[in-house]
Amino acid sequence: MKKNNLVILILLISAISFAQDQFILNDTVNLDEILVRATRVDKKAPFTQNNITKAEIEQRNLGQDIPSLLNFLPNVVTTSDAGAGIGYSGIRVRGSDATRVNVSINGIPLNDSESHGVFWVNMPDFSSSTQSIQLQRGVGSSTNGAGAFGASLSLSTNGIQEDASAEISLSAGSYNTFKANTQFSTGTIKGFSDFNAEFSGRVSKIESDGYIDRASSNLKSVYLSASIFNENTLIKAIAFGGHEITYQAWYGIDSETLETDRTYNPAGKIYNDNGEFVDFYDNQVDDYKQDHYQLHINHSFDNDWVANLAFHYTYGRGFYEQYKNDRDFADYGYTPIIVDEELINTTDLVQRKWLENDFYGTTFSAIKNFDRLKLVIGGAYNKYDGDHFGKVIWAKYGSSMINDKFYDNNGIKKDFNIYAKAEFELNDNWNAFVDMQYRNVDYKVNGIDEGPYEISFKDKNNFFNPKFGFSYFLDKSNFYLSYARANKEPKRADYLANNDVKPETLDDIEFGWKYKTDKFLVNSNIYYMHYQDQLVLTGSMDDVGNPIADNIGKSYRLGLEVESAINIISKLQWQPNLALSINKNIDKYSEFDGELQDFGNTNLSYSPAVVASSNIVYQPFKELVYPYKNISISFLSKFVGDQYMSNIEHENSKLDSYFVNDLSIKFEMKSKLFKSIVITQMVNNIFNTKYVSNGYFYTYDDTWSAPGETTTITGTGYYPQAKINFLLGVALKF
């Protein structure tokens, strides 16, 4: 399956054949969330959650990746390699990195099967095609794909529109950032028989030089959707994809460079034969394409069952290119050569490391509402087939190695899960929730890896993940208590780094209180997350910026999260949130200075004890005069406390706290030519704060400085974020 899925393309064309050019003027078709019902929870469920609407997404959607749009949710920390939110971006929830956040689109897993990461850069401007987002912090309810060890993030793509529409959006700003997109919907179209249809699409292009030197991004994406439906049946075919070319910015800088030249990027450095720096390599880029195809079939039966069956296929391929100085022939499997009677065993070269993979499968669910019972049965079967290989495309010496593969291996992963959920309405005040999931994972890797050396391993895991809880409703309050278990297999990098790596287990207990009146809302919860064999980031990274993790025995997270919305006056609302947490390794032991040392109960890496956000929204005019429809001014603030990049609380691994403020102004007005014109101005980091949101910490043993002794040497890398910067956007809606 190395080629695009022609079956789904044919289905798209077939769906178009149902349509005729006659518009229906009946009520809006409410099918927006039908594809994600089984994997999401409603507001009555005993889980900690945030729901983001399309209007909230549009408030800040000027080209930055989805993690940046979620930055102000409770206990969320985001970061950007390029420094300004475009390019490679990351998200952490409750201290858990992106590889531990389960992400799905319309119920279909998005996390990479081997690295477990989500690379938003492969789907630029996907937020423009997103209808809603649900973030469940903690384990949450059962979903498809890898276990949620920090959160699960469910995205729903644009729903069916009643009326035809079109939109052109342009935005520009600091660091030569530019975004252009156009999107359309045919609206609901009358077909033959009792079926109707709707078609929509989007094309986007984003460019940015990035805050970090040469951290440029050239991003393109497309989204297409075709739906045919009637009162009982929906068939929806979706195709979306992207092509990203980004100059590598994942190397970070040391503490001295952070003080003297914080935008410095060491990627692509070229040295001459005397070891003197001469230039940077122009094409030190990451170049990747990813195509996604989804087919959803949803039907409501006469007996009140609603069933959903989906098929999906993702084709990813691409490489990152690197200039390498003075590389040993042996590292590429070649023998030295003789040039002008001189033995040559090293050379400067340019290499490309490739990924080519197929991910395909099916998801399914069935839902029925009884008198006081909602029952959901669902699951998925998915298969991943990924090739990893490297080629030398240029060499100063040793031309015979060009275009030969110096490593070549394959990973195959099969993932099956099935779950059953039941929500009982015990009486007018009490609800009970039960959720049981079984998951089977079969993973194997074979071939030649870099070195070169042979790799071969396989692992099979069977996981049982129970969840249950209660909700109690009293007047304007809602109390809930839940328990959830998650199990998670190691990543590819974890297996390669440690033959004895083990799966990890999480037990999550959540207790929450929600209170709502016309002028005040508060959601609060206390959580306790206990880990066994947790795979925790060591702070070190591999040569492409992927974090390295290791089992650490027992650890826990204990926290309080509070979020609120307060109508101070009719025109002014304050939306604050606060997360306080204790995140600890229990009896942490680690090799340091040549011996195993007991570091005690240390802080978990990348887990700040305090994360707080605030959004003050002011709408100055209650009733606007033509042509103005709406004006909104938002002042957003984010505080992230101190955190360590290691699990041994080494002082050199400490990231300082930071406090950043943004200003957003948005107003919409009517026009004789357009349905509306929306102008959005964003000023990020308005007080020009110098801060670092991410980094890495590494160690190595020095055994030569003092013979007979071992001293551990430490080092750090930092990813500085942009100082004051702005974005200005204009959307013309037809």
Residue 119, pLDDT score: 92
* Mean pLDDT, residues 514-543 taken together: 84
Strands (E), 554-669: 554-569, 572-585, 588-592, 595-600, 610-618, 628-640, 643-644, 654-655, 658-669
Output the DSSP codes for 348-384. EEEEEEEEEEEEEEEEEEEEEE-SSEEEEEEEEEEEE
User: Does the pLDDT of residue 38 top 60, yes or no?
Assistant: yes
pLDDT category of residue 34 using cuts at 50, 70 and 90: low
* 661 pLDDT above the threshold of 50: yes
Query: What single DSSP character describes residue 58?
Result: H
- 529-561 pLDDT, tens digit per residue, is 999 988 876 656 555 555 667 787 789 999 999
**Residue 364 token pair:** 């399914």
Q: Quick check: 168 and 205 in contact, CB under 8 A?
A: no
Q: What is the chain's mean pLDDT, rounded?
A: 89
pLDDT band for 29, please (50, 70, 90 cuts).
very low
Residue 625 pLDDT grade (very low, low, confident, very high; cuts 50, 70, 90): low
- pLDDT score at 28: 33
Between strands 151-157 and 101-105, the pairing is: parallel
pLDDT of the residue at 149:
85
At residue 418, the pLDDT reads 96
Mean pLDDT computed over 60-84: 89
d(CA 249, CA 90): 13
DSSP-derived secondary structure for 25-47 = -SSPP--TTTTSTTTS--TTSSS
Whole-number pLDDT of residue 609: 97
Output the pLDDT for position 673. Answer: 84
Comparing 106 with 595, the larger pLDDT belongs to 106
Q: How far is CA 70 from CA 91, 179, 274, 516, 613, in A?
A: 9, 19, 48, 23, 11
Q: What is the DSSP letter of 192?
A: S
How does DSSP classify residue 626? T
Instruction: Please report the pLDDT score of residue 68 as a whole number.
Output: 86
Strands 305-328 and 346-369: antiparallel
pLDDT confidence of residue 485: 95
Q: What is the pLDDT of residue 544?
A: 52
pLDDT at 708: 77
pLDDT in tens, 187-214: 999 876 788 999 999 999 999 999 999 9
> What pLDDT does residue 55 have?
84
Q: What pLDDT is attached to residue 297?
A: 95
DSSP H or E run through 256: helix 255-260
At residue 547, the pLDDT reads: 62
pLDDT grade for 345, boundaries at 50, 70 and 90: very high
pLDDT the model gives residue 541: 57
Mean pLDDT of 210-238: 95
pLDDT value, residue 543:
54
Instruction: Say yes or no to pLDDT of 272 above 60.
Output: yes
pLDDT of 537? 64
Report the percent of the chain where pLDDT is more than 70: 93
Average pLDDT rounded to a whole number, residues 24-35:
45
Domains and CATH numbers, the chain: 6-733 (2.40.170.20)
Please give the average per-residue pLDDT across 149-166, as a whole number. Answer: 91
- State residue 200's pLDDT score: 96
DSSP 291-322: EEEEEEEEEE-TTSEEEEEEEEEEEEEEEEEE
pLDDT value for 3 = 43
Rounded mean pLDDT of 80-86?
93
pLDDT category at 473 given cuts 50, 70, 90 is very high
Residues 491-512: pLDDT tens digits? 998 898 887 889 999 999 999 9
Confidence of residue 713 (pLDDT cuts 50, 70, 90): confident
pLDDT score recorded for residue 139? 93
Per-residue pLDDT band for 25 (boundaries 50, 70, 90) equals very low
Q: Which residues of 189-213 are buried (b: 16+ CB within 10 A; e: fewer)?
A: bebeeebbbbbbbbebbbbbbbbbb
